[in-house]
Amino acid sequence: MPDIELPDSRTKAPDFPKSFAWVNTDRPLYFDSELKGRIVILDFWTYCCINCMHVLPDLAFIEQKYKGQPVVVIGVHSAKFDNEGDRQNIETACYRYNIEHPVIVDENHRIWTEYGVRAWPTLMVIDPEGKVVGSLSGEGNRATLDAVVAALLREGEQKGTLAEGPPAFMQKGRVPSASGLAFPGKVLADPAGEWLFISDSNHHRIIVANPDGEVRAIAGSGNQGQTDGSFLEAEFNQPQGMAYYADNHLLYVADTENHTIRKLDLKAKTVTTISGTGKQVYDRTGGGVGTAQGLNSPWDLALHENTLYVAMAGPHQIWTLDIETTIAKAWVGSGIENITDGTGTSSAALAQPSGLAIHGEWLYFADSEVSAIRRANLKTREVETLIGTGLFNFGDRIGGFPQSLLQHPLGVAVYKDNILVADTYNHRIKRLDLDVRESSQLTGTGNPDLAEETEQNPSLYEPGGLSVAGDMLYIADTNHDRIIRYDLISGKWSPLDLKGLRVEAARRMDMTQAIETIAAVQPGSKLSFRLSPELPQGVHLNAEAPINWSFREEPDSNNGYEGLIEIGKLPVDIDIKDVNANFNNSYFLTLDFACCTDENRGLCIPATLMWHLRLQEDTAAPARIELTASIEP
């Protein structure tokens, strides 16, 4: 930790406007009351910004290291895009990026202006007496920030200005989705119609299914980490884009927060890291081999022959990765965040590329921070802009390419001679006709409210990924935790039901946690259950959260059943109508639900119970098997 000399001259920190909204807290926090005697780190951010995302692990490090001490992080969300100014969208972004500290919604950049902030991200440090110590702009400042906090704690102890600990506040929890997904970032459909791959990003796993949604495998334990190995053992960290190499049954994955590229062998069911050190680097050239070459937030992939094209969002470049030699290097983009056409890495400038698709001799990409759709020639590396003009030029307008406006697009796909665009912050899918060079609306109401969707138009919520197979478009409706299937001929759409997802997920659970139970059953009867979880004092069922269950038979583990109860209510009755009692086999039954504390009724606590059942023949047994268990408080 570097030595820090604190400035003697400090100015009073402007307090927060009383009328501004907050998220991630049950009440506002102010310098003249709740924050008095505390070291406060203000994080000026906007949730579209990749550099802002890179600061979040540093803030989490500080929060963990100084837990229980008078240190608090407060996010000041000063929106870049119109969509980011909405309180609900900011709250959803906090869930998506696992932000646990309070965040104030900075309307019209008022707080930003009062503090003299000039760039995202900026950290402003306030001492226990409510005075500004200094600021840190950009990323990569963890050690300096740590040193400043430590020095301020020492100073506060000497002056006697420290409070006993951090301020108390309560958070609202997010209800788990009925689909079983959590912020799926990307989706990839195999053109041959055999596979459908889903980046279940906030569950840190890859779902392998068929185009109808029948789950065949899950890669990833669900734990956030970086472990290679079998599908069951492997760990990911916010995986995003994918590319499929059909000849060898290999799936390549941009493991974004691990800053790596992973290779999934679908036959062997193994995961291997092929590029990236596991740590973010600031290299804008590359040329290293395999896991010796560091990467920076790879967000999407496209495969052409033996070359993986990597949307490297962090340094605002597109890289290539030779899948035979595993050499990774910059391909287009100077590393300067801008929208400048040119060639290769010398004169072209990109701004957070986040979606890739190959069509003919061009690589099309969504350049999200300039709200642009651009393309790079695969042979000449020449970059051309189709739609987009600048870092702060965005909107929702269709027509000729020069007049068209998008808002932070994250995904692209090819359909015939059209480019389909996930116009993410407009909550729509657009169609770009390359022949007449015009944009048009394809689908999406433009309103995230599910009550607004119709048979013709789904209500999308910041869709992040697209993929086409035949005439079917698959949409990663990211903030609605679902995958949409949209028929490009008829215009009909439906949410994709992932059949067998809960059974497959339960199969991966730690069986030692199962409750061993012997149950009396009448011979020849069907299996019926009543599940009555016992909740500890001060905890109640979250009735807004769906209740999921899964059931499977051992040793015939492929014989699985699952169900969903959309409105939470206990006890839960389950009827397995297709299974007769077999006294030679055993069964696993799981129940997933969510609880709240009486103290904080908005806090969502996921809970899972698993029973390992062995049946005992009894002609006098009741029709339903009664099962109960206590959950940990």
CA 174 to chain centre: 13
Alpha-helical segments (H) within 293-434: 344-347
Helix 50-65 × helix 142-159 angle, to 10°: 40
Amino acid (1-letter code) at residue 435: D
Per-residue pLDDT at 558: 67
Percent of the chain predicted with pLDDT > 70: 99
Q: Which residues, at least 6 apart from 486, have a Cβ–Cβ distance to it below 8 Å?
A: 429, 442, 443, 458, 472, 473, 474, 475, 492, 493
**Domains in the chain and their CATH numbers?**
11-159 (3.40.30.10), 187-437+495-499 (2.120.10.30), 507-630 (2.60.40)
**Chain segment 122-152, per-residue pLDDT in tens:** 999 999 999 999 999 999 999 999 999 999 9
What is the average per-residue pLDDT within 377-392? Answer: 98
Of 74, 79, 80, nearest to 59 by C-alpha is: 74
Per-residue pLDDT at 5: 85
Percent of the chain predicted with pLDDT > 90: 85
Of 172, 156, 140, 4, nearest to 604 by C-alpha is: 172
Q: Which two tokens stand for residue 64?
A: 């963990």
**Chain segment 582-604, per-residue pLDDT in tens:** 888 899 999 999 988 887 777 78
**Chain segment 285-310, per-residue pLDDT in tens:** 999 999 999 999 999 999 999 999 99
Per-residue pLDDT at 71: 98
pTM: 0.95
Q: How far apart are CA 335 and CA 345, in angstroms?
A: 8
What is the average per-residue pLDDT within 74-78? Answer: 98
Residue 418 has pLDDT above 90, yes or no: yes
Half-sphere exposure of 190 (CA within 13 A, CB side): 20
Of 373, 383, 449, nearest to 406 by C-alpha is: 373
Model confidence band, residue 524 (pLDDT cutoffs 50, 70, 90):
confident
SS3 64: helix
- The CA-CA-CA angle for residues 401, 406, 410, to 5°, reads 115
Torsions phi, psi for 239 (to 5 deg): -65, 150
SS3 502: helix
Residue 1 has pLDDT above 80, yes or no: no
Per-residue pLDDT at 4: 81
